[in-house]
Structure 1
């Protein structure tokens, strides 16, 4: 992927974004779909017994914060897994995580569909944005379960999540494996103008690039973007993505995601 305002960290489902906060330039580490407490959630939802991976998740994230020397952590939604107020193991994981992160950097949460109970959970130590997203300088952020705000779309790059995008790759003998991927491409202005019921000329528009983040949590499922019949979850996808290409976590370009 070419140099831009948002650059993935090679080998990791995370990126560094050049952002601005209160008029000052910042270096932000951006991750999506952390799903703290997912193991206890799967136990309750599906009867699946998995040991907690909370400490490993936290150390992976803290290591990336240290490695990238980020001023801020931006979480593109679904920081927690439970839909509602966090309880038990999830609440404990969230408290430990936020304490460790905010000892190193500022923290911003763009709420996702799993974060309904987190608005007041962190007091003032985490900035929780509007659900339609936030713009930090030239980069806009949203979770993707709702339409982004017009101000977010006025950015040069729009970062989104929610899909947990992945591809199914097959070998010459028919074996297959799932790989998390990035999706990157141009946004279709007409789709968003139709949504807001305005003329294209009424939108502040800088031909933004869309970056759809892979899930940070490697236990969660996702949208297999190259498997027929797999529908997207975001209301603006796939119609809002003009020329989306898929990239593996190591940076390998796979080309048009529909033809992988």
Structure 2
């Protein structure tokens, strides 16, 4: 996923083969971003007869971020929502493991949490030193970070939007990667601009959909993938707003595996987004 090299703008790079994004600002400040941790999802999977030790799984997530912190030296962490698994309530598993997860990471990082649709009552589970952002997201220079379930205001200087929410997995029958989580990069362009080849004011926005951070979502996403047919309505409300209300159109798209290989283009988006 090659990024521009304009030093006046933020740059971002996936840390292959991990579902983690590295962001570099013009002032040399660096952030890591992850999305869709879904701590407590083990309870839902247990109902399907699959037993997973929630504390052990949480420890593995902490270990990965600890190693990345030591390798990169980055001390700022953005969590793009859905820290916990349940929507409105707090389960016993979440009471036990969300504070443990956040307290462990707060010793390493300055944390920014953008609440997702599964983060009801999340404040009760967080240490005081966690920065809770608005659900509409946060902006760093030319990049807007948001979970993807809300309709944030998109400022005129926004050139990249980083979201989670979708839990993207590849849908290609016969492929050895079928069902694996992926990165998605979509280039959006104004519909009106498409009608004029000589329009010099064409505005583009790059939408990056992050893979989910918690590996147990691989299983959950496969068995709960909901294909809504040909309604034309994306499972990303933000993308619907851009296309159906704000006159943007998908120009190009790339699907990347966790090792950075291109495994799909815009024609492969239908089964993923809808």
Give the alignment's TM-score, normalised by structure 2. Answer: 0.76
Instruction: Give the counterpart of 2:42 among 39, 42, 47.
Output: 39
1:258 maps to 2:258: no
1:55-204 equivalences in 2 (<5 Å): 55-151=59-155, 154-171=157-174, 177-189=178-190
Instruction: Give the counterpart of 1:208 among 205, 208, 219.
Output: 205
Is contact 1:78-1:115 (8 Å) kept?
Answer: yes
Q: Distance in 1 between matches of 2:78 and 2:191?
A: 28
- What residue is the counterpart of 1:198 in the other structure? none
- The verdict on how the C-alpha distance between 1:189 and 1:142 changes in structure 2, with shifts beyond 3 A counting, is farther
Larger proportion of helix: 2
Q: Distance in 2 between matches of 1:243 and 1:97?
A: 37
TM-aligned CA deviation for residue 245 of structure 1? 1.3
Q: Compare 157-166 and 230-239 and name the one that shifted more.
A: 230-239
TM-aligned CA deviation for residue 90 of structure 1? 1.6
TM-aligned CA deviation for residue 19 of structure 1? 4.2
- The verdict on how the C-alpha distance between 1:257 and 1:119 changes in structure 2, with shifts beyond 3 A counting, is farther
TM-aligned CA deviation for residue 182 of structure 1? 0.8
Is contact 2:170-2:177 (8 Å) kept?
Answer: no
Is contact 1:141-1:159 (8 Å) kept?
Answer: yes
1:195-254: per-residue Cα shift (whole Å, max 9, x none)? xxxxxxxxxx963311100111122244899x8949741113364543221111100012
- The verdict on how the C-alpha distance between 1:49 and 1:219 changes in structure 2, with shifts beyond 3 A counting, is same
Count matched residues.
Answer: 239
Is contact 1:36-1:54 (8 Å) kept?
Answer: yes
Is contact 2:137-2:144 (8 Å) kept?
Answer: yes
TM-aligned CA deviation for residue 189 of structure 1? 4.3
- The verdict on how the C-alpha distance between 1:42 and 1:19 changes in structure 2, with shifts beyond 3 A counting, is farther
Q: Distance in 1 between matches of 2:75 and 2:158?
A: 20
- What residue is the counterpart of 2:24 in the other structure? 18
Q: Distance in 2 between matches of 1:65 and 1:187?
A: 33
- The verdict on how the C-alpha distance between 1:18 and 1:100 changes in structure 2, with shifts beyond 3 A counting, is same
Instruction: Give the counterpart of 2:214 among 208, 214, 217.
Output: 217
Q: Counterpart of 2:119 in 1: which secondary structure?
A: coil
